Structure 1
Amino acid sequence: MVQARVTGSAANCPACGVASHRVHSRYVRRLAEAAIGGRPTVPKLRVQRFRCSTTECPRATFTEQVEGLTFR
């Protein structure tokens, strides 16, 4: 098992693009299993869910994404 966490303090809302610093919650995502050094691994990533700070935005909350690693 490999565990990691994102350390960013803000993320951009995917709907309106505005940066938010308001953390709603945190949780662990289990990523696709991979082989590292020929051994099977289970990557787990702790991410944050943010509240969008734009009142007109249709998304109330969103999860930060790690470019090249996670996606919606």
Structure 2
Amino acid sequence: MTDTVLDVRGLSCPLPVLRAKKKLDTLPPGATLTVIATDPGTVRDFESLCRQTGHLLLDSREEGETFTFRLQRAG
């Protein structure tokens, strides 16, 4: 189950990942964040974010021009 949804459709790199990081920092450990984006670069950006911060990328999917990522805040 997702605790928070962040809609960053229409924003370009680096804004989607920066806004997601800022939102994750406000969530309690173990909470999940679903991010909805349209920038194709976010696929690579969210993988990097998780590697660098310890947050988990639970899943990601692409539907047309929309990308959805489910992240879990590191504990």
- TM-score (norm. length: structure 1): 0.29
Query: Which one has a larger percent helix, Structure 1 or Structure 2?
Result: 2
For the pair shown, the structure with the greater C-alpha radius of gyration is 1
